[in-house]
Amino acid sequence: MNSRRDFLQKLTLSAITLPLLPGSLKPLNLPEENPEPYQGKVLRVAILGLGSYGTRVADAMQTCKRAKLVGAISGTPTKLKEWQTKYNIPAKNCYSYDNFDQIKNNKDIDAVYVITPNGLHRDQVIRVAKAGKHAICEKPMAINAQQGQQMIDACQAANVRLLVGYRMHFEPKTLEVIRMRQAGEFGKIKFFQGLSGFTIGDPKQWRLNKELAGGGAMMDIGIYSINGARYMVGEEPVWVTAQETKTDPVKFKEGVDETILFQMGFPSGAVASCLSTYSMNGLDKFYLNGEKGFAEMQPSTGYGPIKGQTHKGELNQPHITHQTVQMDEMAAIIFDNKKPEVPVDGQEGLRDLKIIDAIFLAAKTGKKVELKA
């Protein structure tokens, strides 16, 4: 496999509609079988970075009710031409990486979704904020916590929203496990396991370039286990330990991690044991254990369908395209100030970055690293 995108794409099947979720969680704004035409405000989005995932988001947005693809930003002129035709995007809403600051004068664009290599996120989001547009940024939000804070500060100064592409925060089976945990159905949470990994291909790709990626597997796939541990356990970790293994120092150069085992401890006494790797296939599993029951999800973070079970039986919420739900929900966050069950704002992205920084430090020093609140 060439990338995480290829790995997750293999898990994708065609979407079907989804009924309202059971339990105490608020229902998502999901498509109905015969929906009434939406009459409210629509979030008009330009996508910055027209690669494979940018295309996936663009395709998913074609069935959104509250979000619409209206613009494109790329360093490749031929891609801009292709997107104009494929998605009916006006030429005046297409920009290059050099001139996209001009979106400041384009009243047809409300937000820009940054889907570029991690190392470019900070500068591009800050430029979006200075242009007065809301910023949606793919995860990880930046390559370290310092950069993440700079992005948050820039968006606050410009009075625009900063949201992060945590699509799993809107995924129905994931939300059902969170609902069960909140309702006490697992009892006191004791343990979480997260396995995230695949065998990466092309050694020349940007994901193996420290400057562009900010690391290796941890920044690409390991972040799923970090974020998953937080929303599954329902707490913020207070310490981490980590051990790094590297079998191919030619492919995985200095600062580009191949495999990291890491552990997290939570205030309640719950612990997490996680694996992030670029050298093992088929690792996409979450397991949560409590005094009264368990939840197991495999695949746990792929594009879908997510599959899982708990001590009460199989999770049977139907699948719907993650990015469609995400973009409609982000429109509700921006326009209606809706509070999602699991945050997707800049502070949420920053929390993951602080943990990643601590994991890298723990792997380097061999010591437990305490996390500040």
Same topology between domain 4-166 and domain 168-316+346-370: no
- Amino acid of residue 339: K
204 alpha-carbon distance from chain centroid: 24
> Could you give the CA distance from residue 76 to residue 145 in angstroms, rounded to a whole number?
30
CB 255 within 8 A of CB 247: no
Instruction: Report residue 64 as tokens.
Output: 């959104």
- The pLDDT tens digits of the residues spanning 234-260 come to 999 999 999 999 999 999 999 999 999
131 alpha-carbon distance from chain centroid: 24
13 alpha-carbon distance from chain centroid: 19
- The pLDDT tens digits of the residues spanning 181-213 come to 999 999 999 999 999 999 999 999 999 999 999
137-55-255 Cα angle (round to 5)? 50
| Secondary structure E strands in the chain | 43-48, 67-73, 94-95, 111-114, 134-137, 162-164, 189-197, 239-245, 259-265, 271-277, 283-290, 294-297, 308-310, 313-314, 369-370
What share of the chain in percent tops pLDDT 70? 91
User: Where do the domains of the chain lie?
Assistant: 4-166, 168-316+346-370
pLDDT given for residue 38 in this prediction = 82
Catalytic residue among 224, 231, 278, 303: 224
Catalytic residue among 139, 173, 285, 354: 139
pLDDT given for residue 59 in this prediction = 98
Given pLDDT bands bounded at 50, 70 and 90, which one contains residue 309? very high
**What number does CATH give the domain 168-316+346-370?**
3.30.360.10
Exposure class string for 313-347: b at 16+ Cβ within 10 A, else e: eebebebbbbbbbbbbbbbbbbeeeeebbbbbbbe
Q: Is pLDDT above 50 for 21?
A: no
Given pLDDT bands bounded at 50, 70 and 90, which one contains residue 37? confident
SS3 55: helix
What DSSP letter does each residue of 192-247 carry, written as one string?
Answer: EEEEEE-----TTSGGG-HHHHSSSHIIIIIHHHHHHHHHHHTS--SEEEEEEE-S
Given pLDDT bands bounded at 50, 70 and 90, which one contains residue 27? very low
CATH fold of 4-166, please?
Rossmann fold (3.40.50)
pLDDT given for residue 235 in this prediction = 98
pLDDT given for residue 142 in this prediction = 98
Our answer to whether residue 79 is catalytic in this structure is no
- The pLDDT tens digits of the residues spanning 344-364 come to 999 999 999 999 999 999 999
Strand partners, 294: 289
Strand partners, 194: 274, 286
Regarding pTM above 0.85, the answer is yes
Our answer to whether residue 231 is catalytic in this structure is no
- The pLDDT tens digits of the residues spanning 281-301 come to 999 999 999 999 999 999 999
CB 25 within 8 A of CB 179: yes
Strand partners, 369: 240
